[in-house]
Amino acid sequence: MIRVLVVDDSPTMRMIISRILESDPELTVAGQARNGKEAIALCRKLNPDIITMDIRMPEMDGYQAIQRIMSESPRPIVVLTTTQSDRELGTSFKAVEYGALMVLGKPGGLTTGTRAMEDLKAQVKAMAGVKVVGRRKRSAERPRMVEPIRTHARSDSEPITLIAMGASTGGPPALQMVLGMLPENLKVPVVVVQHISEGFVNGLARWLNETIRLEVTVAANGMLLKPGTVYIAPDNRHLAVGSEGRAWLKELPPVDGHRPSVTALFESVALHYGKKGAGVLLTGMGADGAAGLKAMRDAGSYTIAQDEETSIIFGMPGEAIKLGGASDVAPLKEIAGKLKSMVMN
C-alpha cells in the first residue's frame, strides 16, 4: 500500500484529491495538511511514501515546504496547482528546482473525467517508487543556470542539423539539464514533445527561458525553425517538422495514446532529416517515442536514450532500447556533450 500525504489549504480540494486517490486499492491517504508547516510536521510523524503539494498556502507556502522536506527527510513530491497565472508564468515549475518531481493540474472535482483521475493515480503510483536525494536549501532569488558543456568535435559521423527530444514523467528537470548544458550559440534548432497537463506548456516554456541560455518558445503552425531556439509542442496537437525547416501542427488522432506524441515528431524527423537528425528520448512512463526513435535510427539519425540509473521513470527510454532504437545510451549529464559533438562536426 502506497501512503500519501495530501497538502492543500482548501478542505474541499483535500477531500477531492483524497477520494480520487483512495479509489485505487494500492493508494491510501495517510494524512492531510493545510499548509507547509503542517506538511513538514506530518511528514516527520507519518513518514509517507509520497506527497501531493499545493503551492499557494498561508503561513508557509509549497516552495518553502518542499525545500525543508527535501533537505531534512527527502521523499517524492508531486505539485498540484489550478492557478492560471502559475500555469502561464511557469512559477509552479520553480518547485522542480527545489526537488519536486513534477507539476500536475488539480482535479476539477469528483466529476473530473475518468482519464484525468486515472492519470493522477497512475502518476502518483509511479512517482512513489522514485528514489530521491536530499537537496540543500538555496535562495529562490536567481534562477539556476547550468554551465554549457565543452567538447571536441567528432569526425566519425555526418553533422546534424536538427535535434528532436521527447519526455514524459520527470521530463521538465531532465530537459532543463540537457538544454541548459547546450551552448547559447547552438547552430541547430531543437524541437520538443513533453507530455504535460493541459494548460501548462506556456509556463514550461517560460520557466525554461528563465533558467537556460537558449531561447524557448511554444511552436506555432508554419513557424520557421531557427538555430539556437527550442520549440515545444502545444496542447492537443502533434508537432512535426518538414523538409523546408518549418514546424507543422497536426490535429490527427493520438499516437501511442498521446497528442502531442513523441513518436509522431520522431517519425517526421526520420522522414525529412534522416542522417542529419538527432533524437533524444528522456525519462517517462509508457512507450511513446520508442517506435519513433527506432524509425529515426533506421533512417540513419543519431539516437540517444537516457539510461536507467538517471531516469526518474525508465519506461519510454527502456522500450526504445528494447526495440533497438537507441544508437547510444547515456546518463543525463552526458547527453548534451554528445549532441554538441555531433553538431560541431
- Strands 215-218 and 162-167, by their bridges, are unpaired
As a whole-number percent, the residues of the chain with pLDDT over 70 amount to 89
The residue among 134 and 58 whose pLDDT is bigger is 58
φ/ψ of 304, rounded to 5, equals: -130, 135
pLDDT the model gives residue 109: 66
DSSP, collapsed to helix, strand or coil, labels residue 86 as helix
Is residue 143 predicted with pLDDT exceeding 70? no
> Quick one: cell of 46?
507519518
Segment 212-225 shows an average pLDDT of 97
Segment 234-257 shows an average pLDDT of 96
Can you list the positions of beta strands (E) in the chain? 2-7, 27-33, 50-53, 77-81, 102-105, 162-167, 190-194, 215-218, 229-232, 238-241, 247-250, 277-281, 302-306, 328-330
Contact 103, 170 (CB under 8 A): no
195 carries an active-site annotation: yes
Q: Of the listed 9, 54, 195, 197, which one is catalytic?
A: 195
pLDDT the model gives residue 116: 78
State the chain's mean pLDDT as an integer. Answer: 90
Annotate 102-134 with DSSP letters as a single string.
Answer: EEEEPP--TTS-HHHHHHHHHHHHHHHT-----
33 contact partners, CB below 8 Å, separation of at least 6: 5, 6, 7, 8, 39, 41, 42
The identity of residue 73, as a single letter, is S
Is residue 154 predicted with pLDDT exceeding 60? no
Segment 210-216 shows an average pLDDT of 95
168 carries an active-site annotation: yes
pLDDT the model gives residue 108: 77
Segment 325-340 shows an average pLDDT of 96
Looking at residue 258, what DSSP letter applies?
B
Is residue 153 predicted with pLDDT exceeding 50? no
Contact 278, 164 (CB under 8 A): yes
* Window from 16-25, 89-98, 267-276 with minimum mean pLDDT: 89-98
Is the full-model pTM beyond 0.75?
yes
Preceding omega of 253 cis (within 30 degrees of 0): no
Q: Of the listed 92, 168, 197, 301, which one is catalytic?
A: 168
Interatomic CA distance for residues 111 and 210, integer angstroms: 36
307 carries an active-site annotation: no
Q: Of the listed 49, 86, 256, 288, which one is catalytic?
A: 288
Listed residue (78, 83, 19, 33) closest to 51, CA to CA? 78
